[in-house]
Amino acid sequence: MAKRVVLLPGDGIGPDIVASAVRVLRQVFSDRPEALSFQYHQLGGAAIDETGQPFPEETRAAVLASDAVLLGAVGGPKWDQGPGHLRPEAGLLALRKALGVYANMRPVRAYEKLLDASPLRLDVAKGVDLLIIRELTGGIYFGERERGETASAGRFAKDTMYYTEMEIRRVVKKGFEAARDRKGHLTSVDKANVLDSSRLWREVVDDMKKDYSDVTVEHVLVDSCAMHLVTRPERFDVIVTENLFGDILSDEAAVLTGSIGVLPSASLGDGPGLYEPIHGSAPDIAGKGIANPLGTILSAAMMLRHSLEEPERADRIEEAVARVIDKGLRTADLARGRESVSTQAMTDAVIAALA
Ligand SMILES: NC(=O)c1ccc[n+]([C@@H]2O[C@H](COP(=O)([O-])OP(=O)(O)OC[C@H]3O[C@@H](n4cnc5c(N)ncnc54)[C@H](O)[C@@H]3O)[C@@H](O)[C@H]2O)c1
Ligand SMILES: CC(C)[C@H](C(=O)O)[C@@H](O)C(=O)O
Ligand SMILES: [Mg+2]
């Protein structure tokens, strides 16, 4: 039976980069085209325009019945003025929650050929190969919120960072397991010098250590981690951290690779996985045909590996991307004054490199 992939192109550059990933998937399955079925649904601003909701019921039903979900990006200035629960981003959060994808894996790999695209010194970014595991369905993104007004101090707004032991344990477990399969080092990132939720996080990590004696564990405060990511990135193997810290640190880590456009992600829980590049809808370049499709193409490879039991085809896509980068092809975000190619041409090159 065909594996059911739900495609959520979303907004801005989303439709272009998802189209690229689908072309690559079709090519890598050209010997068995019946193995995958694709279904398009709406999420984000596009869904608001059509249905009034950022995560329509129809999309919810489709993703829950799928084997995996591939998402482009959501958001844009057109929808920025709406109330919080009717923003495109609220649809994305509701999607993650509905799928229960609590572990967001964001691998960061510096390709040798792209080192000069990073603003950092060559020797800093060289050899970087780390994995950020970001808790994705809890923390301040999903805690209690409140808006109000007091007579003495004017308006107030409240967001709450709330974690249960169960939420921490299951994502930290993914961290230990990933470290075990990689270089055996786990960095748990928190703000335990200030936050109670971080102190609980640290206690749970320390509790779990004894079951993973082959993994070395260190605790690093998030501010210090932010500095070390761009000064000594080679010290990291697997980083596990809560939702907001992971969001910020992964965009920072993108600087090591030359562009946020090349970073993929896999969000995993107990049901269908969700796969999306880590970047947004890039309204500044939308419609120009110049978006970097590699983060989405590499997310599709992660989908084949983690949800669709097709690890060899995943390898083939990743090798094709590495070959294209090696040949020197760059989209505008990576060009740094060199010649650049379009989304379409980059996708064509990956497809040609698959052969
Ligand atoms: N997962 C998601 O859907 C997601 C993630 C982040 C931001 N957003 C949303 O996207 C919108 C824009 O946010 P932002 O500008 O802060 O972040 P962004 O990631 O969209 O863009 C940041 C910068 O990186 C560039 N960029 C990003 N992806 C690129 C690609 N594939 N190729 C070339 N250049 C690329 C953009 O042109 C821009 O200059 C906002 O509405 C935000 O909420 C969505
Ligand atoms: C758009 C936004 C809700 C999202 C997040 O904060 O999780 C994005 O920044 C990401 O990293 O996927
Ligand atoms: Mg982000």
Q: How many Å separate Cα 15 from the centre of its chain?
A: 17
Nearest CA to ligand 2 atom 12: 278
* pTM, 2 dp: 0.97
For ligand 1, the distance from its centroid to the CA atom of residue 292, given in whole angstroms, is: 11
- Per-chain mean pLDDT for the chain: 97
Q: Is 119-257 the same fold as 1-102+260-355?
A: yes
Q: Of 223, 315, 326, 327, which residue is the catalytic one?
A: 223
Query: What residue's CA is closest to ligand 2, atom 6?
Result: 247
Protein residue with its CA nearest to atom 3 in ligand 1: 73
Which residues, including other chains, have CB under 8 Å from residue 325's CB and lie 6 or more apart?
111, 113, 114, 294
- For residues 64 and 99, is the Cβ–Cβ distance under 8 A? yes
Does position 355 have pLDDT exceeding 90, yes or no?
no
Mean pLDDT of 271-293: 98
Provide the CATH topology of domain 119-257. Isopropylmalate Dehydrogenase (3.40.718)
The amino acid at 307: S
The 3-state DSSP class for residue 192 equals coil
Mean pLDDT over residues 275-285, rounded?
98
Q: Which residue ranges make up each domain of the chain?
A: 1-102+260-355, 119-257
pLDDT tier at 1, thresholds 50, 70, 90: confident
Indicate the top mutation candidate among 85, 87, 89 to test ligand 2's pocket, ranked by most ligand atoms within 8 A of CB. Answer: 89
Q: How far is the CA of 48 from the centre of ligand 3 (A)?
A: 21
274 close to ligand 1 (CB < 6 Angstrom): no
Please state which CATH number belongs to domain 1-102+260-355. Answer: 3.40.718.10
Please tell me the residue having the least CA distance from ligand 2 atom 1. 89
| Annotated binding-site residue? 49 | no
141 catalytic, yes or no?
yes
**SS3 readout for 8-41:** EEECCCHHHHHHHHHHHHHHHCCCCHHHEEEEEC
CA of 246 to the centre of ligand 3 (A): 8
Q: What is the pLDDT of residue 83?
A: 87
214 carries an active-site annotation: no
**Is 183 noted as a catalytic residue in this protein?**
no
Name the band, by pLDDT with cuts 50, 70 and 90, for residue 82.
Answer: confident
Choosing from 252, 260, 294, 344 the residue with most ligand 1 atoms within 8 A of its CB, the one to mutate for a pocket test is 260
3-class secondary structure, 69: strand
Q: Is 245 exposed, middle or buried (0-12, 13-18, 19+ CB in 10 A)?
A: buried
Check whether 110 has a pLDDT greater than 80.
Answer: yes
Residue 84 pLDDT level (bands cut at 50, 70, 90): confident
